[in-house]
Amino acid sequence: MKSMTHFIFFFVYTLTVGCSANQTNTMVKRFVDDIIVSGDVGKIEEYLDLGTEVKSNPDYLIFFKEYFKEIRGLLDKGCDFDYDLLTFEEAKKSDVKSIEQYEKYYSHYEQVFFIICNDQITLPLIVENDKIISFQSKMLKKYGGDYSPFLLNK
């Protein structure tokens, strides 16, 4: 009976973790399609967890619109919008170039995802509580002598 209880617990846990990862992948893909590819930042807060540091800047939407325009161009020219979404672990096991540079910036790898275009990282993302909390690319903050991702939710 005890082994059956362990089996049921393991099965439910695996199912929950798998569904959660699938839900995150779906959210990130919708973000790329709904916001980056479309260029419409009107629904940005559905996907991003924005804190007061970001929202206190009156031009934050303009910044995101321009930044996403750059990413859209990379996705268009680099792979004709046929991008891949990989977890950190999946990216480490694949032929993705320059993955090692992201290992030193952030330690919660289970929250890191990459938009990949032609085996190159186009947009690294950090997800927490079903919201994107950071883009590692070009948005790093210096703490002491090291760089770390700029967290949008602070």
Mean pLDDT of 125-150: 71
Q: Which two tokens stand for residue 11?
A: 């099965």
pLDDT of residue 105 exceeding 80, the answer is: no
How sure is the predictor about 16, in pLDDT bands with cuts at 50, 70 and 90? very low
Percent of the chain whose pLDDT exceeds 90? 46
How high does pLDDT run on average in the chain? 80
How sure is the predictor about 109, in pLDDT bands with cuts at 50, 70 and 90? confident
Confidence at residue 150, expressed as pLDDT on a 0 to 100 scale: 74
Contacts of 121 (CB under 8 A, 6+ apart): 91, 96, 97, 98, 99, 102, 114, 115, 137
How sure is the predictor about 108, in pLDDT bands with cuts at 50, 70 and 90? confident
**What is the rounded distance in angstroms from the CA atom of residue 74 to the CA atom of residue 115?**
11
Neighbours of 113 (CB within 10 A): 24
